[in-house]
Amino acid sequence: MSETNDPTLWRAVLPWPGPDAHKHQRGRLGVVSGGPLNTGAARLAGRAGLRVGAGLVRILCPPEAGLVIAGAVEAIMVSDFDTPEALAALAEPLGSVVIGPAAGLTEATAANLQALAGTEAALVVDADALTLFKGRAAELFALLDGRDVITPHEGEFERLFPGLLEKGREAAAVEAARVSGAHVVLKGRETVIAAPDGRVRINRNGTPWLATASSGDVLAGLIGGLIVQGMETIEAASTAVWIHADAGGRFGPGLIAEDIPELIPTVLSDLR
């Protein structure tokens, strides 16, 4: 049976820093970027991860994108890689890695995901890293485990789980989590958060103002930023979805993805 996603479910486990906290204690998040003309999504995800409390965020990018990103970020660190093996080495000290936003619909993205799956980092898999596996979803699922999250909208969900939405969104998400072995965040007006063990939550504070480019990239960064702070995956996903929706609703008309991270401190302050 599903629960309504609400702060009463996870407020008590929000990762507030203690008086002696330092950045490495608060967790390290990585975000994989696309090429030099496709860096905005990773930057948005990274900023969201910082805003929600990750102590350190590092964007991992192809060498040709490094200077583009470095000139557009401040607190976020930048490291480049030229092989999947080099990416895996950069990811070793990280608690979670977001991959997919504007990563590119190429086999390089698949190779990068495979390399990351061999590390200890929990994966938040979104966008291109989902669409890329249309018609071969089993290859993706083989790379995932119960700490990982996939974050499809309905179009991406249909590519991975053709016909499953005919069962209804809740039942589809539950079955997708069982089949994939990962947590599923099925985005929409009422986002469904499903765990591989059958737990399922329905988020009901959604807002149509979030129907704007790259808002999902921000959500992916929020999820990763909470995972690295030690939250259980279902709690991190549930918290991120609620915060994301609350922030969008607070801003209202005219919202663009860049606005969402800037609202996170207010949402967190009210939760505290």
pLDDT digits (tens, 9 = 90+) for 220-254: 999 999 999 999 999 999 999 999 999 999 999 99
As a whole number of angstroms, the distance between CA 205 and CA 245 comes to 6
Q: What is the pLDDT of residue 49?
A: 98
Q: What is the pLDDT of residue 148?
A: 98
In a domain, 61, yes or no: yes
In a domain, 138, yes or no: yes
In a domain, 3, yes or no: no
- Backbone φ and ψ of 75, nearest 5°: -75, -20
Q: What is the CATH number of the domain that holds 81?
A: 3.40.1190.20
In a domain, 20, yes or no: no
What parts of the chain have a pLDDT lower than 50? Answer: none
Q: What is the pLDDT of residue 60?
A: 98
As a whole number of angstroms, the distance between CA 14 and CA 244 comes to 15
Q: What is the pLDDT of residue 38?
A: 97
Number of structural domains found in the chain: 1
In a domain, 6, yes or no: no
In a domain, 38, yes or no: yes
**For 73-84, how does the pLDDT look when each residue is reduced to its tens digit (9 = 90+)?**
999 999 999 999
In a domain, 10, yes or no: no
Structural domain range at position 243: 25-260
Q: Give pTM, 2 decimals.
A: 0.98
